[in-house]
């Protein structure tokens, strides 16, 4: 399941000397050479940002990677210098516009192998890099961690001997998925103490003693838990390891191996389904709320663990009738009450968890929550006196069912009355005023066959009754 990959890349030779000197480089905005590259803005130059950063994040819903470039001017080294030791220190930026180190943020420093200019480089024009001579920056243990004394001796030695090959480093995240960031201060940061620093220990060729060893540089990538045989033992910790050999000329040959450890990728995903549905997770169709863990492999054969959280929404589609008040038993949802006797017509404004009908009839509620929908059984409501006909003995429709006209009989009332006719969609299709006592005849010509609601409003009472038009 897990793999190891080797790459031999470079051989250096120099002279070992006595009498060491130290050069410390920590340039500011005027002399520092670094830039930020932003995938989501591929043509924008970011040459003055105070951050030296590697991340994978989202911007306005778009996933985007961020990388950074840095190069130190080594012209202060004497032309006959031999680099003995080189250490790079990167400092957390506490004044950044967003959080510092975050997530599983393991990153790498790659050698850049082609020219670039701080004032023009963008994501679209970024220089080439090599996968060799990688320095691994392991996942941070705190959000404000500094990475001090990173051993970059092999790279700086090469650049010292061949200055034209010095194109610096690129920092980029190892895992290309949200959310993770490694955030340091750049040379443009206002705080001079936390700008990137390179300390070089060197000697000159003035007093050669013995030939320096030949250096062979290798990279090994292993999965966490695996090991590689280095320095005479099986190693599991990322870092640089030195194996020394001696050739027939009594000259040392030192094999420098950068061991890179890939942590297991752990992801969390959340899924929502409705009761009665299913989803394929962890090798089966799942229907119950819970966690379902999947064990996969990355392209390098390392562990990839996905924690799938499944949430199943089961709606309670029952209702309770208390007197003439209907209540949906499902809480925290959206509601729409409907009139069952008018073809499940939605009742205007009836969108609360409870509903009090104005007339006797049968009613149900449509419930929606988390993208799921349910409808309750119809419940019959009776005993409504004022809104349902005031007194059934005084309000009648003759004939019912009717064809082209219907007579509205309203006894025991005097004065003005408004007659309204509503179709099954709740739309007002007829209205007129009449004077009582007197004959009221409603013309149904032009109305399609179906169920209608006829209401008589005297101002003090509302009478209503359903009419079937043939």
Question: Does some domain include residue 434?
Answer: yes
What pLDDT band is residue 154 in, cutting at 50, 70 and 90? confident
Output the CA angle 411-412-415, nearest 5 degrees: 95
Q: What is the 3-state secondary structure (H, E, C) of 402-465?
A: ECCEEEEEECCCCEEEEEEEECCCCCEEEEEEEEECCCEEEECCCCCCEEEEEEEECCCCEEEE
Tens digits of per-residue pLDDT, 183-234? 999 999 999 999 999 999 998 866 554 555 667 778 888 888 888 898 889 9
Domain identity same for 62 and 89: yes
Give residue 10's pLDDT. 35
- Domain identity same for 66 and 176: yes
Domain of residue 402, CATH code: 2.60.40.3080
pLDDT at 387 over 50: no
Say yes or no: 79 and 158 in one domain.
yes
Give residue 213's pLDDT. 62
> With contact defined as beta carbons under 8 Å apart, do 388 and 374 qualify?
no
User: Is the distance from CB of 304 to CB of 223 less than 8 angstroms?
Assistant: no
Q: Which domain holds residue 304?
A: 265-311
Residues 89 and 142 in one domain: yes
16-36 average pLDDT score: 86
DSSP 264: P
Q: Is residue 292 in a domain? A: yes
How far is C-alpha 334 from the geometric centre of its chain's CA atoms? 27
Q: Is the pLDDT of residue 379 over 50?
A: yes
State pTM to two decimals.
0.47
Cα–Cα distance for residue pair 113/115, rounded to 1 Å: 7
Q: How confident is the model at residue 133 (pLDDT cuts 50, 70, 90)?
A: low
Average per-residue pLDDT for the chain = 85
Give the model's confidence band at 162: pLDDT under 50 very low, under 70 low, under 90 confident, else very high: confident
Give Cβ neighbours of residue 392 (< 8 Å, ≥ 6 apart).
none
Q: Are residues 51 and 187 in the same domain?
A: yes
- 121 pLDDT above the threshold of 60: yes
What does the pLDDT look like over 41-99, one tens digit per residue? 999 999 999 999 999 998 888 889 999 999 999 999 988 888 899 999 999 998 866 66
The reply to whether 182 and 275 lie within a common domain is: no
The answer to whether residue 170 is domain-embedded is yes
Tell me if 89 is assigned to some domain.
yes
pLDDT tens digits along 280-330:
998 899 999 999 988 877 656 787 888 899 999 999 999 999 998 999 999
Number of domains in the chain: 4
């Amino acid at each position: 399941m897990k793999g190891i990959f080797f790459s031999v890349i470079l051989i250096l030779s120099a002279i070992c000397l006595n009498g060491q000197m130290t050069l410390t480089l920590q340039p500011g905005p005027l002399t520092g050479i670094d830039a930020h590259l932003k995938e989501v803005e591929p043509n924008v130059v970011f040459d003055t940002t105070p951050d030296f950063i590697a991340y994978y994040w989202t911007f306005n819903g778009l996933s985007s990677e961020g990388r950074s470039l840095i190069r130190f001017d080594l012209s202060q080294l004497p032309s006959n210098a031999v680099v003995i030791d080189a250490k790079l220190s990167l400092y957390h930026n506490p004044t950044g516009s967003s959080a510092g180190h975050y997530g599983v943020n393991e990153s790498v420093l790659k050698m850049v192998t082609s020219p670039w200019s701080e004032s023009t480089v963008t994501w679209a024009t970024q220089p080439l890099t090599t996968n060799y001579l990688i320095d691994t920056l392991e996942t941070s243990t705190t959000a404000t961690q500094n990475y001090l004394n990173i051993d970059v001796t092999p790279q700086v030695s090469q650049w010292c001997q061949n200055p034209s090959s010095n194109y610096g480093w690129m920092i980029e995240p190892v895992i290309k998925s949200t959310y993770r960031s490694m955030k340091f201060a750049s040379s443009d940061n206002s705080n001079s103490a936390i700008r990137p620093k390179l300390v070089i220990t060197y000697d000159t060729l003035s007093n050669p003693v013995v030939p320096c060893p030949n250096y062979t540089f290798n990279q090994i990538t292993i999965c966490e838990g695996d090991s590689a045989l280095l320095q005479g033992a099986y190693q599991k910790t990322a870092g640089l390891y030195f194996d020394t050999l001696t050739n027939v000329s009594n000259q040392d040959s030192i094999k420098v191996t950068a061991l890179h450890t890939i942590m297991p990728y752990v992801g969390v995903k959340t899924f929502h389904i409705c009761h009665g549905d299913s989803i394929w997770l962890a090798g089966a169709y799942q229907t119950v709320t819970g966690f379902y863990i999947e064990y996969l492999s990355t392209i390098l054969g390392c562990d990839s663990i996905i924690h799938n959280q499944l949430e199943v929404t089961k709606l309670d589609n029952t209702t309770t009738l208390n007197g003439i008040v209907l209540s949906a038993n499902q809480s925290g949802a959206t509601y729409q009450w409907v009139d069952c006797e008018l073809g499940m017509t939605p009742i205007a404004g009836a969108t609360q968890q409870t509903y009090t009908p104005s007339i006797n009839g049968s009613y149900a509620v449509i419930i929606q929550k988390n993208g799921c929908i349910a409808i309750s059984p119809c419940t019959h409501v009776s005993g409504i006196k004022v809104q349902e006909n005031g007194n059934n003995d005084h309000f009648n429709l003759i004939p019912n069912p009717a064809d082209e006209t219907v007579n509205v009989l309203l006894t025991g009332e005097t004065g003005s009355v408004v007659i309204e006719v509503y179709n099954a969609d709740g739309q007002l299709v007829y209205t007129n005023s009449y004077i009582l006592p007197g004959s009221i005849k409603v013309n149904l010509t032009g109305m399609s066959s179906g169920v209608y609601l006829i209401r008589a409003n005297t101002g003090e009472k509302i009478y209503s009754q359903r009419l079937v038009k043939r």
